[in-house]
Amino acid sequence: MVDKNHYGRPWYPTIGTIIIPDENILPLTVNQTTLKNGYSYPNNAIEPYLMRKLENIPFEELTIGTKASLTRTLTEEDLLLFAKVSGDTNPVHLDEEFAATTQFEGRIAHGMWTASIISCALATKLPGPGGIYLGQELKFMRPVKVGDTVTVELEILEINEQRKRATVSTNVVNQHGKAVVKGKAEIMPSSGKVVVDEYPLPEVVLKPAD
Amino acid sequence: MVDKNHYGRPWYPTIGTIIIPDENILPLTVNQTTLKNGYSYPNNAIEPYLMRKLENIPFEELTIGTKASLTRTLTEEDLLLFAKVSGDTNPVHLDEEFAATTQFEGRIAHGMWTASIISCALATKLPGPGGIYLGQELKFMRPVKVGDTVTVELEILEINEQRKRATVSTNVVNQHGKAVVKGKAEIMPSSGKVVVDEYPLPEVVLKPAD
């Protein structure tokens, strides 16, 4: 679990890839970039991120049947972080002993974690930046557990030329090809090409037991 | 921004209330509780959490018109954490300069953050633990920005006695009483009383600029 970062210090397993040195060890006054939201990163960590671009599929280029997908494996950290950000402390997500007594026979992810991956796929792939998220229907079909790999499958179902809107199928399957979520989204894609820098994510550290 | 924790060390502003000391500074061998999921906390931090209980409203006690609500104020940390856990790096959420050029005139929360608060309200209040989340419809009506206070208003709309299911109105309003999300959920509440320990959330640290 313990690795070394580029300052030669041990680091803790983290969810992301940018490591911020503890200011008790290394003052953050050297070689740093301060972001517009007030968070700062060492330049050598941020540079690879600034190279990445997000680009949209403009409304004019969408056709019925246009597809995109996004695959993600649920980690223990994802599950804990989603509990944290949602405030959902229900033990079916967090307490293995309690969850084992339920019909799920173990801890399950929050359904909205899977929905957040759908949202990520819409915001970054189809239609991508510049689009507006108008609505989402979700049917939770099966639980997702730590270690499961989910694939969001997006496909344009309908296009409303007059209102510049589209309906997107947003089904999610697990590594066994079984439906985890079924549903669809209403979006208003941007007209014209939008290319933006993918914004770097903050460092997040969860402290595990030794 | 910098405060002292109970070990006399400066700490960073955090999203939660449990602070884990850096193991380089203080070995985690003193006075700690190891949770079933492998994360550990100092006992004096965890104890107040273990006192809290979640209890459900059993299916038999639900009537049309049963209500519950949950209020949350979106912090900068919530927004960053949601970007992290969803992977949604769209700059409309993260880059103030870019977002200022959009129709939203500034950064907005991920729509699914608001949906995650709906999910929390369902899982912890109405119907609470033991319930199963079957589906959710969401219409995103207005953006939510850092500092906005949203209130999830739950109300039982329909009860299906035969299938032991219920439809819940899940509207969300902001501090001005304006609709942020409209929608409804399908749930299968537990039969009989369920009382569980509210599970403690992990420590999460984001490193801000000085």
Do A122 and A175 fall into the same domain?
A: yes
Q: Give domain status of residue A187, yes or no.
A: yes
Structure tokens that stand for B26 in this block = 């203080």
Residue B199, domain member (yes or no): no
Q: Which residues from chain B sit within 8 angstroms of residue A73, using beta carbons?
A: none
Tell me the average pLDDT of chain A.
Answer: 78
Question: What value does the mean pLDDT take over residues B145-161?
Answer: 97
Does A35 reside within a domain? yes
Owning domain of residue B153: 55-193
A149-160: average pLDDT: 98
Residue pairs spanning A and B at CB distance below 8 A = 256
> Is residue A203, in this structure, part of any structural domain at all?
no
Kindly identify which residue of chain A lies nearest to residue B76, measuring between CA atoms: A37
- Cβ distance B209 to A115 less than 8 Å, yes or no, reads no
Q: Cβ contact (<8 Å) for B204 and A81? A: yes
Which of A27-36, A41-50, A56-65 is predicted least confidently?
A: A27-36
Query: In the prediction, which pLDDT does A105 show?
Result: 94
- pLDDT score of B31: 34
Contact A88 B200 (CB under 8 A): no
- Say if residue B79 is in the same domain as residue B125: yes
Does the residue A178 lie in any domain?
yes
Q: pLDDT digits over B38-66, tens only?
A: 444 444 443 333 447 889 999 999 999 99
Q: How confident is the model at residue B207 (pLDDT cuts 50, 70, 90)?
A: low
Residue A138 pLDDT > 70, yes or no?
yes
Q: Does A173 lie in the same domain as A96?
A: yes
Helices A111-124/A76-86 angle, 10° precision: 90
Query: Which of residues 163 through 202 in chain A touch B, CB cutoff 8 A?
Result: 196-202
The whole-number average pLDDT for the span A132-161 is: 97
Least confident piece of the model among A33-47, A108-122, B104-118: A33-47
pLDDT at res. A207: 55
Q: Do A88 and B124 touch (CB under 8 A)?
A: yes
What is the DSSP pairing of strand A10-11 with strand B195-197? unpaired
The pLDDT of residue B177: 98
CB-CB under 8 Å, B133 with A90: no
**pLDDT, tens digit, 9 for 90 and up, residues B69-98:** 999 999 988 998 999 899 998 889 988 888
Distances (CA, A) of B134 to A107, A137, A142, B114, B164: 17, 11, 9, 18, 12
Mean pLDDT within A75-103: 90
- Mutation for A interface: B23, B186, B207, B210, most A CBs within 10 A: B207
Residues A18 and A71 in one domain: no
pLDDT digits (tens, 9 = 90+) for B111-138: 999 999 999 999 999 999 999 999 999 9
The answer to whether B186 and B135 have CB atoms below 8 angstroms apart is: yes
Task: Give the ipTM.
Answer: 0.77
Do B97 and B22 have their domain in common?
Answer: no
Given B20, B89, B112, which is nearest A124 (Cβ)?
B89
The closest of B95, B75, B44, B199 to B147, measured between CA atoms, is B75
Query: Is residue A6 very low, low, confident or very high in pLDDT (cuts 50, 70, 90)?
Result: very low
- Would you say residue A14 lies in a domain? yes
Is A60 in the same domain as A130? yes
- Asked if residue A21 and residue A68 are part of one domain, the reply reads no
pLDDT at B203: 73
Whether residues A32 and A95 fall in one domain: no
Statement to judge: residues A93 and A10 lie in one domain: no
The lowest-confidence range among A81-95, B46-60, B171-185 is B46-60
Q: What is the pLDDT of residue A199?
A: 76
Inside any domain, residue B161: yes
Name the residue among A79, A85, A107 with its Cα closest to residue A202: A85
Q: What is the dihedral of CA A57, A59, A62, A64, to 10 degrees?
A: 140
The pair of structure tokens assigned to A96 is: 């293995």
Give the mean model confidence (pLDDT) for residues A58-84. 94
Please, what is the end-to-end C-alpha distance for chain A in angstroms?
A: 9
- CB contacts of A96 in chain B (<8 Å) are 36-37
- In the predicted model, is pLDDT for residue A165 greater than 60? yes
Residue in chain B lying closest to A122 (CA): B88
Q: Which residues contact A56 (CB under 8 A, 6 or more apart)?
A: A127, A128, A129, A130, A131, A189, A190, A193, A194, A195
Residue A61's domain is classified under what CATH number? 3.10.129.10
pLDDT of residue A95: 85
B114 SS3 class: helix
More confident residue, A39 or B86: B86
- In this structure, are B158 and B140 located in the same domain? yes
* Segment 49-88 of chain B within 8 Å of chain A by CB: 54, 72, 76, 78, 80-88
Residue B25, min C-alpha distance to chain A (Å): 10
Whether the pLDDT of residue A17 is over 50: the answer is no
Q: What is the mean pLDDT of chain B?
A: 78
Asked if B70 and B92 sit in the same domain, the reply is yes
Is the predicted pLDDT of residue A10 greater than 80, yes or no? no
Total domain count, chain B: 2
Report pLDDT for B97.
Answer: 85
How large a percentage of chain B has pLDDT more than 90? 59
In a domain, B146, yes or no: yes
Query: Between these two residues, A87 and A200, which has the higher pLDDT value?
Result: A87
**Residues B166/B159, Cβ–Cβ less than 8 Å:** yes
Q: Do A93 and B199 touch (CB under 8 A)?
A: yes
Q: Is B36 in the same domain as B116? A: no
Residue A17 near chain B (CB below 8 Å): no
In this predicted structure, the answer to whether residue A40 has a pLDDT above a threshold of 90 is no
Least confident of A23-32, A41-50, A122-131, B76-85: A23-32
Three-state SS at A33: strand
Task: Of A142, A11, A145, give the one whose Cα is nearest residue A78.
Answer: A145
Peptide bond into B127 cis (omega under 30): yes
